[in-house]
Structure 1
Amino acid sequence: MQAQLLELVPFLRDRNPQARQLALSNLLPQTPQGSPYRDTLFFKGLGGGGLQKPKETDVIRDLKLLCRDQLNIAHDAFRALVNLSDSPMLIGPLSDPSFLTFIVSYIVNPQSICADLAAMLLSNLTASSAACLIVITMKIKVIQYKPYGEDAFQMYPVDSRSGSSPTPVPHPTGQEMELNALPLLIDAFVQGATMGDIDDLSKRKRKGELNFLASVFANITVSPAGRLVFLTPQPSDITKTDLSQVTETQDGKIALEYPLAKIVPFTEHKDSIRRKGVASSIKNCCFLVKAHKAILSPESERVVVQPSKVAAPGIDAVPYLLLPLAGPEEFDLDDQEKLHPSLQFLPPDKKREADANIRITVVEALILLCHTRWGRDYLRSTGVYEIVREFHLQEKEEKVREEVERLVQMLKGEEPSIQAADEEEEDIVDAELNKADTISVSTKAEDSDEEDFKIEEI
């Protein structure tokens, strides 16, 4: 059997698409972890060790090229690489800048039919800090154009060209421009949120739901550089890269926003992968203490997150953190008035988050936001204690209950009589949280919650 499978490998680059498809369909069952011939077929010859990077073998190079092939071949090639990318040996060969540029461009293109598989692959690759850094700093070439019969502009990523991502007809004739990749991925993620409600693929403006981009954002925000991207004001119009070009709109709203503000509403989305990745992204961003005011403040207030000197509307994350913990309970009038309008008079069928890992992540984010006096006072004034008090009564998981009790101690505990100035306190807490975050990152491989972001055997 092994010899027969090895004979199929050269057919991956055959001129006949039927031969390529047949060879790939027979090799695909060997890509999941635990398959008997996986190592022999896909990992033999990778080598590497010490300072030497793993070498790219012919079969891996072929699979990367087949991701650009016609739809049925590209679909199986993406599936194969998603399954194989659970191995650290393939992170290097799959994270070369040219291939990552194709993957990101492919995801950004609304017409990419295998965009969800590409998002899964990017999720696995960004488990590596090297791949994260490439995505954070990446720029991709796009052409802005108006589809026939539509008023809104769309972006055509030039490097997404492939058999399963058709070029618009007529071909866009606008000028190429280079844009930061991460804001484009965030916009694609937001647009994909409602695509699952449309069963007919031909009627979707974006073919993929892109729920797995949430775990990409969670991976990226593990690093301080990644957090800064999500907590640095960006123009609402992503084609404007110069902040000096941004002015107020006619209704007086500033045309700047924190990228994190775009993803926080999805803590209540129907897809658990999206909810979990967004909750983890928010929690990771909470390690940046200087951003706490921006994370908590309402949109009506403009807040600066150092080292940036540009103010943008607050992210107003509290209601999105509390909704997963909130149930149908009714509160006294005094307690009710503290709550955000979205948390008042919830329907009798309101259910709490079913996934214990997401619940504990949300509670841990609230604990991080309690690390300054200003944060504790703000959370007290917005009814956080009242919500978690009822949540604690219903919670069955002991680990979650323990974290809720930690949160309550911080909210209801006695405050010190002498208080440091805001900036001094932020600097002290920032150093403490960075130290704690470094420890948590170093033990990431032992954390079963983080391992859930690894996609295998599809």
Structure 2
Amino acid sequence: MDAQLRELLGFLRDKNPQVRQISLEHLLPHTVKDAPHRNIFLTGLKTSGLLPQAKDADVIRDLKLLCRDQLAIAHDAFKALINLTDTQVVANSVSDDQFLNFLVSYLINPDATLADLAAMLLSNLSVAAPVCASLCTLKVNVIVSPKVKNGFYTTNSRSGSCAAPVPYPEGHSSDELALPLMLDAFVQGASVDQIEDLSKRPRKASLHFLASVFANIASTNPGRTFFLTPRTPNFMKPDAAAEYPLAKIVSFTEHKDTIRRGGTASIIKNCAFNAASHRVMLTPESETVALPPSKVAAPGIDVLPYLLLPLAGPEEFDLDDQEKLLEPLQLLPPDKKREIDEVIRLTHVETLLLLCHTRWGRDYQREHGVYEIIRAAHENETVDKISEHIERLVNLIQRGEPKSAQIEEVEELTDSTEKLSTVEAPAEDSDDEDCRIEEI
């Protein structure tokens, strides 16, 4: 059987698309984890990439090329790579700059039929810190034209499953930073699933898995810098008012899709590891604030209501407590439900703990009803680990503060050591294979 499957590998390069499709269909089931003949895809690979003159390893190169093929072939090629990149050795071979540029250009394009699969593959690849670093600086070539969707076309997205516009745009071509374009595509994809009429959808993919990509990126210092640095919302409108990129996505903590909610929660948590950003993260949108040493001010991110809403239930509060709550948390409907995913609930509580790192952050939470919400959440919590984290949060919020600034400074250092030991920090150099998507 192993020899027969190896013979099929050569047909992935056949000139006849039907032959390529049939061979890939037969090979795809063997790409899943623990498949008995999966080793045929791994022969000749090493951590630095493909071994010279190792023909069997050419299958990874072939699969990358097939991602640009006709729809059915590209679909199976994407799925095969998603399955295979649960191992770092394959992920290293797939993460070259040229293929990353294609993946990103492809998923940005609103007409990319398989953009969700591209996002899943990128989610696997971005587990590695070097890929996150590449994504933070990656630029994609675009042609600005009012005749195409969103006003620009990513030239490297052209493939069998994403045809070029007709007529081909003749506008100005430039290389633009990819992350802001990915973020806009992610925001645009949030409502795609709710639009039943396919012709009215702004893009063909929901891109929920980009939340995992952004969470991985936000676990690195350059990634946090991107989300916490004001920039104009659109490269085609350089004079528009600046905003923090993180502010675009915080509302997704209440999205229907679990992947999007969980990824967004992790993005916020990872950004909260930057203690200097806490004032920016907590400040309401109605106020402008800058993140030192930068002097560029933008509307606050106002993250607190989006952390508390998933933890809030239908409880009624007395008038005094009600007045402390932020407006979005007042008079919640009787059918309001808490976040059902315990991992996401824990992530939100951990973020609130991180936002207690400064005196200003603790005071802000005290003044805006955090205790009232988490007290009710604690009464209804069934997971011991989450309850323990809530109790630590209550201790930080409800205890008295020192009067001396000098004592406060020492306490901050002590608190951060004690508190951060209970909150898992993002590992920038981690290539955790458990974070990867398997078997689709």
Measured against the shorter chain, the TM-score band is over 0.9
Q: Which amino acid aligns with 1:136?
A: C
Partner AA of 1:234 in structure 2: R
Q: 1:237 aligns with which of 221, 234, 238?
A: 234
Q: Deviations over 1:142-189 (max 9, x none)?
A: 1122237xxx74221011010111211221111111111111111000
Higher mean C-alpha displacement, 424-433 vs 135-144: 424-433
Mapped to 1, the partners of 2:395 and 2:152 lie a distance apart of 49
- The answer to whether residue 274 in structure 2 is matched with residue 318 in structure 1 is no
Partner of 2:207: 210
Give the conservation status (yes or no) of the 8 Å contact 1:328–1:347. yes
Distance 1:442 1:268 in 2: 27
How far apart, CA to CA, are the structure 1 residues paired with 2:171 and 2:361? 47
Would the alpha carbon gap of residues 146 and 366 (structure 1) be closer, same or farther in structure 2, given more than 3 Å must change?
same
Aligned length: 436
- Partner SS, residue 159 of structure 2: coil
- Distance in 1 between the 2:389 and 2:424 partners? 20
Residue of structure 2 aligned with 1:303, choices 285, 289, 300 = 289
Change (3 A) 1:126 1:443: closer
- Please, what TM-score do these two structures have when normalized by structure 2? 0.93
Equivalent-residue separation in structure 2 for 1:292 and 1:422 (angstroms): 17
The one-letter amino acid paired with 1:393 is: E
Counterpart CA distance in 2 for 1:135 and 1:323 is 31
Partner residue, 1:90: 90
Residues 126 and 216, structure 2, Cα contact 8 Å, conserved in 1: yes
User: How far apart are 1:441 and its partner, in Å?
Assistant: 2.1
Could you report, residue by residue, the CA deviation over 1:255-286 in whole angstroms, capped at 9, with x for unpaired residues?
11000001100000000000000000000000
Counterpart in 1 of 2:173? Answer: 176
CA 1:170–1:429 in structure 2 vs 1: closer, same or farther (change >3 Å)?
A: farther
Structure with bigger RCO (C-alpha 8 Å, 6+ apart) = 2
SS in 2 for 1:295: helix
Cα distance per residue 1:189-242 (max 9 Å; x no partner): 0000010113454442200000000000110111111101100001022335xx
How do 1:309-348 and structure 2 match up within 5 A? 309-348=295-334
Name structure 1 gaps, 5 residues minimum.
248-254
Give the root-mean-square deviation of aligned CA atoms. Answer: 2.5
**Which amino acid in the other structure matches residue 330 of structure 2?**
Q
SS in 1 for 2:311: coil
Q: 1:384 aligns with which of 361, 370, 383?
A: 370
Say which SS state the counterpart of residue 387 (structure 2) adopts.
helix
Q: Within 5 A, what are the aligned runs for 1:47-446? A: 47-48=46-47, 52-55=48-51, 57-147=57-147, 153-240=150-237, 246=239, 255-420=241-406, 441=427
Identity %: 55
Please, what TM-score do these two structures have when normalized by structure 1?
0.90
**AA partner of residue 359 (structure 2):** R
Contact persistence 1:233–1:310 (CA under 8 A): yes
Which residue in 2 is equivalent to 1:457?
439
Deviation at 1:333, TM superposition (A): 1.4
SS in 2 for 1:401: helix
Kept in 2, the 8 Å contact 1:367–1:407? The answer is yes
| SS of equivalent to 1:77 | helix
Q: How many angstroms apart in 2 are the aligned matches of 1:313 and 1:359? A: 27
Larger mean Cα displacement after TM superposition, 394-403 or 90-99: 90-99
The amino acid that maps onto 1:328 is P
